[in-house]
């Protein structure tokens, strides 16, 4: 599971998913990799999903798990959802539990 992290501001970073799918085949790897990248120095992580064109319910669950493992004082925001990915978030109403931005830059500007 290829994820890369870029420090964006003093306390925020962008994690880019360099894969086209977050699905049942990689959900556990995704969650583990997010834990590795969730350095406590960052109060906020923006997950850039721009390259992802498909998630299933396992991938969705892994993204929710990644947010939960940050705890209540840190945030996971989402950016650059493709239409198919956005649809899964809306269908399951999980769009209501994340801050979702058009681009990583828009997320960081907030």
Per CB under 8 A, the list member of 2, 9, 91, 106 interacting with other proteins is 91
Nearer to other proteins, 56 or 105 (CB): 56
Q: Do residues 53 and 59 lie in contact, with contact meaning Cβ atoms separated by under 8 Å?
A: no
Interaction mask 43-82, other proteins, x per CB under 8 A: -----------x-xxx-xxx-xx-xx---x----------
88 binds other proteins (CB under 8 A): yes
14 vs 67, beta carbon nearer other proteins: 67
> What is the per-residue DSSP string for the chain?
--EEEEE-SSSEEEEEE-SSEESTTTHHHHHHHHHHH--TT-SEEEEE-TT--EE-HHHHHHHHHHHHTT-TTSEEEEE---HHHHHHHHHTTGGGTS-EESSHHHHHT-
Q: Tell me which stretch binds other proteins (CB under 8 A): 7-15, 16-24, 39-47, 100-108.
A: 16-24
Residues of this chain that interact with other proteins (CB under 8 A) are: 21, 23-25, 54, 56-58, 60-62, 64-65, 67-68, 72, 83-84, 87-88, 91-94, 96-97
């Amino acid at each position: 599971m290829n994820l890369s992290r870029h420090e964006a501001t003093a306390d925020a970073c962008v994690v880019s998913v360099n894969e086209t799918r977050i699905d049942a085949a990689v959900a556990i790897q995704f969650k583990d990799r997010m834990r590795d990248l969730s350095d406590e120095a960052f109060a906020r992580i923006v997950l850039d999903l721009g390259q992802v064109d498909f998630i299933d319910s396992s991938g969705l669950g892994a993204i929710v798990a990644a947010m939960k493992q940050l705890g209540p004082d840190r945030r996971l925001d989402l950016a650059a959802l493709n239409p198919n990915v956005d649809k899964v978030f809306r269908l399951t109403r999980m769009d209501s539990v994340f801050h979702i931005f058009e681009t990583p830059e828009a997320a960081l500007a907030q």
